[in-house]
Amino acid sequence: MEERKLNEKESLELISQMIKNTQQKLERHNGMPFLVWGYASFFVSVLIWTLLKNSQDYHWQFLWFLIPIIGFPTMMFFLKKEDAGVKTYIDKIISYIWMGFGVAGFVVSAAAIFYWNIPILFIVLLLMSTGTAITGLVIQFKPLIISGFLCILLSFACLVVKGFDAILIFALVFLLMMVVPGHILNYKNKKNNV
């Protein structure tokens, strides 16, 4: 493409072509953040459940902080690696949604260190599944919408199940809420690229 004058019809065609090209390139959404947070939450939860079951030592609960310690650097690494060079308005909205839910989740988790009565597993699941459902609605991806709303309901299981086994429920819900739709999203992208 060069710097040349266009006639009016060519101008309109060029505008429509550029917008169309950009939209086609950006229709793909990445399942990577869901996989990173989903797997990190699942494996850390299973690890904590195993340690608590075997030792009954509550200090293992501090291992929950492994989730952000693993999640943030891994996500930043993949975001840099897979940077498409362009940011859409939808990307911006999604990052704001997760900023809000992430801060809320972190504040509640930190508060739970001092206030043991907070049903932390239930609250975190409710926040994350709501974030997942909203993300699904924004990018119009059915598996995320379904898993998000389904997991809003399933989060109540953490109120019903008592003791350490609630952690196992927490792990399984994360698998269903983020890992499954994350893989479906990546599979769909791969299929569309072929």
Residues that bind another protein (CB under 8 A): 1-6, 8-12, 14-15, 17-19, 21-23, 25-26, 80, 83-89, 91-92
CA distances from 179 to 95, 122, 161 (A): 19, 19, 23
- Nearest approach, Cβ of residue 5 and another protein (Å): 6
Separation of CA 69 from chain center: 16
By beta-carbon proximity to another protein, the closer residue of 11 and 140 is 11
- Nearest approach, Cβ of residue 80 and another protein (Å): 6
By beta-carbon proximity to another protein, the closer residue of 27 and 165 is 27
Is residue 159 a contact partner of residue 130, using CB atoms and an 8 Å limit? no
Which position has the token pair 């492994």? 66
By beta-carbon proximity to another protein, the closer residue of 17 and 55 is 17
Which position has the token pair 């989730």? 67
CA distances from 6 to 3, 18, 47 (A): 9, 15, 64
Q: Which helix (H) or strand (E) holds 48?
A: helix 32-55
By beta-carbon proximity to another protein, the closer residue of 25 and 190 is 25
By beta-carbon proximity to another protein, the closer residue of 16 and 55 is 16
d(CA 105, CA 102): 5
d(CA 10, CA 138): 34
- Nearest approach, Cβ of residue 159 and another protein (Å): 39
